[in-house]
């Protein structure tokens, strides 16, 4: 989990006076490097992680090899849409499935970053909008 990763601490500094408060969703950036890997930035700390490290592995693996789950694919669609999913055409075939994927993404991101609150609120007239920065790196094949 990211919170336990020494390269991306949730607090910064050695003493209590030097520590920064825990990050909020606005301090998080997720950039897709490939279909399976992202670069995660929390304030000034950066690391690369794959879907399994972020909690998006499909528990139903074939031949023992985990694959990304549907929520990961929706997260990638969110990145390709620059943080907004306003209809079901790109994200999935029907809106209830999009809503289910958003619930799964919220759960995994809260667990991974240990940040409370809704990282993907639904905004009337806009759709689901990420409170963190998300996108695709220039090397990502879109």
Q: Is 114 left (phi over 0), alpha (psi -120 to 50) or beta?
A: left
Cα 6 to Cα 3, 10, 18, 46, 61: the distances in Å are 8, 9, 17, 11, 29
What confidence tens digit (pLDDT) does each residue in 59-104 have? 876 677 789 999 999 999 999 999 999 876 655 568 889 999 999 9
> Whats the size of the chain, residue-wise?
142
> How far is it, in rounded angstroms, from Cα 138 to Cα 142?
9
What number is the average pLDDT over the span 26-42? 96
């Amino acid at each position: 989990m990211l919170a336990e990763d020494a390269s991306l601490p949730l607090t910064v500094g050695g003493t209590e006076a030097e520590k920064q408060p825990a990050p909020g969703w606005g301090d998080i950036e997720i950039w897709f490097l490939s279909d399976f890997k992202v670069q995660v930035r929390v304030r000034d700390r950066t690391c690369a992680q794959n879907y399994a490290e972020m909690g998006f592995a499909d528990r139903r693996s074939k031949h023992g090899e985990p694959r990304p789950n549907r929520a990961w694919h929706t997260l990638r669609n969110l990145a390709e849409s620059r943080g907004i999913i306003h209809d079901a055409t790109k994200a999935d075939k029907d809106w209830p499935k999009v809503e289910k994927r958003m619930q799964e993404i919220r759960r995994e991101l809260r667990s991974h970053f240990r940040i409370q609150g809704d990282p993907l609120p639904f905004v009337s007239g806009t759709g689901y909008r990420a409170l963190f920065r998300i996108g695709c790196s220039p090397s990502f094949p879109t």
